[in-house]
Amino acid sequence: MIKRAIEEETKIQDELRIKFMDFLVDEKIMNFIEPPPDKLPPMEQVRRDRFNIRQLKTLIGELEELAKHHGDGQGGIPNKVVVDLFMRKLEVSKALWDDGSLPEEWWTLGEYDFQNMVRNLDRAGHGVVNWKDLATYIILLKSGLPIERDLESYKRVFTSNTGGSDLIDQVTFVNVRAFD
């Protein structure tokens, strides 16, 4: 088998098991060299003024944990805890030049700016902000408003993929191109 593969200049796909000077051909196991998968194109543009997907996922996870440990049981996190979170993320970003914490444009903000942001989201004035509202506002922060034509297009795509149901599955929602 080895001689034939050498003469025909082909690869041996059966596994060879070598024991000292002897070798055995194991035809049950086939060896294939798999080419590496093609690299996927980037899904987002890196922008100094926006959170990237990794930053958003990290921030949402942190807000959710803060709500569990410091929250009021209804999704509210004390304003001070949220401001402290943003200040820690800011310090890490500046000290390590870490783009995984906050967007670069946010590096110029200070504690007062974060306090104002959180205070504006505390509509009832109870000293707490809902973590889901905060996450949603940050996600949509630099997004433009859709025009009527865009809304009709989204509505057509959503209703055609749901079979008339009012419920939209995650795959359909994520795959609709909405924000540039």
63 and 24 within one domain = no
Tell me how many domains the chain contains: 2
Q: pLDDT > 90: what percent of the chain?
A: 19
In a domain, residue 63? The reply is yes
- What band does 163 get if pLDDT is binned at 50, 70 and 90? low
In a domain, residue 145? The reply is no
In a domain, residue 169? The reply is no
Mean pLDDT of 68-73: 86
The DSSP call for residue 70 is H
119 and 71 within one domain = yes
In a domain, residue 115? The reply is yes
Average pLDDT of the chain, as a whole number: 79
Q: What share of the chain is helix, strand, coil (3-state, %, to 5)?
A: 50, 10, 40
- What band does 148 get if pLDDT is binned at 50, 70 and 90? confident
Residue numbers of the domain that contains 13: 1-30
In a domain, residue 82? The reply is yes
Residue length of the chain? 180
133 and 61 within one domain = yes
22 and 62 within one domain = no
3-state secondary structure of 14: strand
57 and 25 within one domain = no
In a domain, residue 149? The reply is no
In a domain, residue 47? The reply is no
Mean pLDDT of 4-31: 66
Which residues have C-beta within 8 Å of that of residue 144, sequence separation ≥ 6? 179, 180
Which residues have C-beta within 8 Å of that of residue 141, sequence separation ≥ 6? 50, 51
In a domain, residue 14? The reply is yes
Residue 27 confidence (pLDDT)? 60
pLDDT at 32 over 60: no
134 and 57 within one domain = yes
Q: How far apart are CA 106 and CA 49, in angstroms?
A: 7
Give the global pTM.
0.59
Residue 114: give its domain's CATH number: 1.10.238
